[in-house]
Structure 1
Amino acid sequence: MLTWLDLFGMKGYYQSEPIALHVDGDGAINHVQWSCIAPADTSVIVLTSISFDGGYDWSEWRQAVNGGSIPDIQPYTPIGGLMLRYRVFLSTTDSMTTPMFEDITFTFEPVIVLDNKGDTACKPEIWMTTSGAGDFSLINTSNRNKEFKIKQLNNNETVYINNELEYIESDLPMVYRYSNFNDQYMTLPQGKNIFRVKGNAKVQFRYQFKLI
């Protein structure tokens, strides 16, 4: 049903076309942020909706918070093939004053998700092969941002780390990486472990659940 705000052009909304997301990783830490001018007696409200099946089915519209995460997208939500759309509602109670919506930005930072379904913590084996020389680190945002870091790796170097045995081996002859390591061997607490990645490398994990 129309209200007097609709009839007098004091309320309206814009809906975007569906946006296809193409982000590598198990999921992504995400944010939505927009710029607007909303004087007194006006409002700007942003809602989002997502689809996991190419736009056939959509989630309900949910109100977003400026600078917050996108509703219904958790860091561990698989986002390959995900589609996103948004609505912007503008309203005023003063015909002489109008709000203005300027722009909106969606940010996605790919993450690695390791799900420890055991009854207690476990320590994985890790193989990493670098793409370019430099440092590489994995930051567990689910475990107080503990950082696993190896510095000054060579291009195309493969390093094996056994976190249980605290053993490190490089495929380069006569190269030992203990002095390049920050001595923070990786532990996976029970549940989902969400890792930020810094550096360029292909990484493989092997770990075994511990059941009590």
Structure 2
Amino acid sequence: MTNWKSICNLTGYYTSPIITIPLNCDGALSRITWSQTVGEGDRIVVQSRISQDGYNWSEWRECVNGGSIPEISEDTYMNNTRLTLRIIVDAQDHLSPPTIQNNILLYFEPVIVFNNKGNVHCKPEIWITKIENGDLSIINTSRSNDVFKFVSLVNQETVYVNNEREDIQTSHAVTYRYKDFNDNYLNFPPGKNILRIEGKAKIKFRYQFGLLQ
């Protein structure tokens, strides 16, 4: 509906081009931030919507500055998901309109969701193939940021860990990896375990859920 503010060019909106999020993962932790100058009675609203195929879009939802992006969470499967933003500006006068300073910043961190469907803790086997030299950490954000970590792994090295037996093997010749491990084996409680990965690697799990009658 047209109102006197839109006629006087005191209300308007801008819609961004489609942004493709280059992730392929179980889900992501996200954050959106911006800086704004808003006078008394002025208003800036930032909204977002997403699409998994580029054709079917969610409804516009309002973003909270410094909060997560609506409809993107650790349970949102990400496969080049599309995102678009809409900025709505409501001003009181032309002399000092509200403005967004610089850019709107978007932050995404991919996560792995390990859903333990049993009713006892799960200690999986894991294969880690390192990409580039360096450290690798798996952080269980659902368990007080519990950290499983190796340091000084070598590019294309594959490390196998049997967390139940506390056994570690490596494809890197004449190398003992126990000394490079923080001795905190993976131990997933029942339910969803949201895992952040620090470092580049290909990761494969093998596991069996346990049930106590």
The TM-score range, normalised by the shorter chain, is: over 0.9
- 1:62 maps to what in 2? 61
- 2:165 maps to what in 1? 165
* Secondary structure in structure 1 of the residue aligned to 2:122: coil
Structure 1 residue 67 displacement after superposition: 1.2
What one-letter code is carried by the residue in structure 2 that aligns with 1:63? E
In the alignment, is the contact (CA less than 8 A) between 1:41 and 1:94 conserved in 2?
no
* Secondary structure in structure 1 of the residue aligned to 2:127: strand
* Secondary structure in structure 1 of the residue aligned to 2:5: helix
Structure 1 residue 79 displacement after superposition: 1.3
- 2:36 maps to what in 1? 36
- 2:12 maps to what in 1? 12
What one-letter code is carried by the residue in structure 2 that aligns with 1:79? M
* Secondary structure in structure 2 of the residue aligned to 1:90: strand
Corresponding pairs, count: 211
* Structure 1 residues 164 and 94: CA distance shift in structure 2, 3 A: same
Structure 1 residue 170 displacement after superposition: 1.6
* Secondary structure in structure 2 of the residue aligned to 1:204: strand
Tell me the C-alpha RMSD between the 2 structures.
1.6
What one-letter code is carried by the residue in structure 2 that aligns with 1:62? R
CA–CA distance in 2 between the matches of 1:165 and 1:3? 70
In the alignment, is the contact (CA less than 8 A) between 1:140 and 1:193 conserved in 2?
yes
Per mean C-alpha deviation after superposition, the further-off stretch among 140-149 and 4-13 is 4-13
* Structure 1 residues 173 and 95: CA distance shift in structure 2, 3 A: closer
- 1:180 maps to what in 2? 180
- Normalising by structure 1, what TM-score? 0.92
CA–CA distance in 2 between the matches of 1:143 and 1:122? 13
In the alignment, structure 1 segments of 5+ residues that lack a partner are: none
1:80 counterpart = 2:73: no
- 1:89 maps to what in 2? 88
- Normalising by structure 2, what TM-score? 0.92
